[in-house]
Amino acid sequence: MTQTSTIAIPPSTERVVSDSTRSEVRGIWLPLVTPFKDGALDEVSLKRLLRHVSGRPVDGLVIAATTGEGPMLDEREMERIAAIAADEIGDLLPIYLGVSGSDTRKVAQQLHRIAHWPVAGYLIACPHYVRPSQEGLYRHFSVLAEAAERPVLIYNIPYRTGVNLANDTLLRLAEIPTIIGIKDCCADPAQSLDLIRRKPPGFAVMCGEDAQFHVALAQGADGGILASAHVETERFATIHAAHRDDGDTRTALKHWHDLSDLPRLLFAEPSPAPVKYWLYRQGLIDSPEVRLPLTQVTPALAERIDREIGRWSGTVRAA
């Protein structure tokens, strides 16, 4: 006997996402780190970091995603992070929650379970390890968009998940009103450019490759979800403004030349350890801890980061 799926796949949806919701996905978004201290969620540092971010030119936040060590958080911790972020940020910025999983049913059930959390939308990664077909990816995200009842950004990062969401599949998904954009980490410049050329009006393409941010903007991306923008946030925002608001590509390139070594430094070892170390040395979080299987930066990289902090800001907390 042939088994069929018990998950309903909607051919369409009646939900309407407002133009203002779509237009807010642009500019500089931070995939916020999750501070830990002595193995536990460090709420004091999280609040301090959020207050710092609220005073910077940031257009949105993603919490509990890859940079936020989402796979190493339990649901209670994720809920607490969402509550603290909502309390500290209020209506200043849209807050999206990172969601991932390979079992469509379980992720849909999670979305129903957390529907009351104070977040504006979700960043949902492609299912990892199982490597579904393009039709499987289409059905997976169709079901999750129906379950989410909030705007969804898709996260395509094949070098982590083992599967690449093809542009043809993504453009089918873009017809679903609640799927409003993508964090693009496909690592294929031709695919990224093709997507930017073909994307429908109101569908956001957000660069997720920090080192490719300038190129992505030059090609027409709407902004970036960038771990490196925890550091020198204003410079990233200036580059975006020069491209998208002023059309001044010469100024944007000048600022990018000054900034382009920073992402390479902050991804020299597995993220988010280098970013966390930088924030710790600036006094924004109380510990550079990460959770296993991630490890803290090596002494050699710590020394390099200390030198760069001194060069950029001149402020390094005592070791």
Return the pLDDT at 311: 80
Q: What is the mean pLDDT of residues 197-222?
A: 96
Annotated binding site: 67, 225
Pairing type for strands 95-99 and 121-125 reads parallel
pLDDT band at 245 (very low <50, low <70, confident <90, very high): confident
Q: What is the mean pLDDT of residues 16-22?
A: 58
Element (H, E) at 98: strand 95-99
Q: What is the mean pLDDT of residues 305-318?
A: 75
Q: What is the mean pLDDT of residues 145-174?
A: 97
The C-alpha angle 138, 65, 28, rounded to 5 degrees, equals 95
Residue from 183, 129, 138 nearest 161 by CA = 129
What global pTM score does this model have?
A: 0.91
Q: How many CB atoms lie within 10 A of CB 133?
A: 10
What is the fold, at CATH topology level, of the domain defined by 19-248? TIM Barrel (3.20.20)
Return the pLDDT at 313: 64
Model confidence at 92: pLDDT above 70: yes
Tell me which of 38-47, 127-136, 241-250, 286-295 is least confident: 241-250
Return the pLDDT at 12: 38
Q: What is the mean pLDDT of residues 206-225?
A: 96
Return the pLDDT at 6: 41
Return the pLDDT at 310: 87
Average pLDDT, the chain: 92
Return the pLDDT at 24: 86
Domains of the chain, residue spans: 19-248
pLDDT band at 36 (very low <50, low <70, confident <90, very high): very high
Strand partners, 63: 97
Q: How much of the chain exceeds pLDDT 90, in percent?
A: 86
Q: How much of the chain exceeds pLDDT 70, in percent?
A: 90
Return the pLDDT at 7: 43
Annotated binding site for pyruvate: 67, 225
Residues that are catalytic:
155, 183
Give the pair of three-digit tokens for residue 300.
């050699």
Q: For residue range 50-76, what is the model confidence (pLDDT) as tens digits?
A: 999 999 999 999 999 999 999 999 999
Model confidence at 319: pLDDT above 70: no
Return the pLDDT at 271: 97
Q: What is the mean pLDDT of residues 212-234?
A: 96
Residues 228/262, Cβ–Cβ less than 8 Å: yes
Q: What is the mean pLDDT of residues 17-46?
A: 88
Residues 141/111, Cβ–Cβ less than 8 Å: no
Model confidence at 15: pLDDT above 90: no
